[in-house]
Amino acid sequence: MDYQQKDAFRILYVHAPSAWMSMFTYVMMAVAAGIGLIWRIKLAHAAAAAAAPIGASFTFLALATGSIWGKPMWGTWWVWDARLTSELILLFLYLGYMALRSSFDDPQRADRASAVLAIVGVINVPIIHYSVEWWSTLHQPASVTKFDRPSIDIAMLIPLFIMIAGFQLYFGWALCRRLRGEILRRERNATWLKEVS
């Protein structure tokens, strides 16, 4: 099937890593929020807060590149099927999480309320993953994350993994940058900040 797509299949190398990272970031955010909620670790809440805008941007990318790919291949920018709709819900979850955080003046209350939202929303991640199997859809089924051998050619698989690794590293780096700002904001009255400055 892929040869029919000619060079349009190359969108895969930005679309699939974005989609993967949109889900990975959400799970990481929910785990961090859960750790913050259970063990009351401020840094975990800070990490979750820093991850949200990055995850939202990956989700936007997955939707946008998917749409750009969908137009020449499916003949439409958008269909309301399970995969696309659940990914759109993921974007709203990120935005809702960020909006909820900013609606509280007290950072501790913001942490707790948004953590609950993040944890409840994680149910959407397996729905996105299995949506292509549970419902009939235009979107192709999983070809890499399967228990048997991936159904994608090795010549396409290697560059795809390189791209995913690149996105993953980018996320780690962007998260650290965001986290620095987030920690500064939370700790602006702390004595240790005066000592290190």
Site membership for other proteins, residue 168 (CB under 8 A): no
Burial call 64-94: b when 16+ CB within 10 Å, e when fewer: ebbeebbeeeeeeeeeeebbbbbbebbbebb
DSSP H helices in the chain = 12-39, 42-74, 82-102, 107-121, 124-134, 154-186, 191-196
Site membership for other proteins, residue 10 (CB under 8 A): yes
Choices 41-49, 78-86, 121-129, 178-186; region in contact with other proteins by CB under 8 A: 178-186
Tokens for 13?
A: 């190398």
Choices 81-89, 99-107, 114-122, 181-189; region in contact with other proteins by CB under 8 A: 181-189
65/131 with CB nearer other proteins? 65
User: How far apart (Å, rounded) are the C-alpha atoms in residues 5 and 18?
Assistant: 20
Site membership for other proteins, residue 188 (CB under 8 A): yes
100/174 with CB nearer other proteins? 174
In the complex, minimum distance from the CB of residue 123 to other proteins, in angstroms, rounded to a whole number: 26
Q: Which 33-62 residues touch other proteins, going by CB under 8 A?
A: 53-54, 57, 60-61
Check if the beta carbon of residue 51 is closer than 8 Å to that of residue 174: no
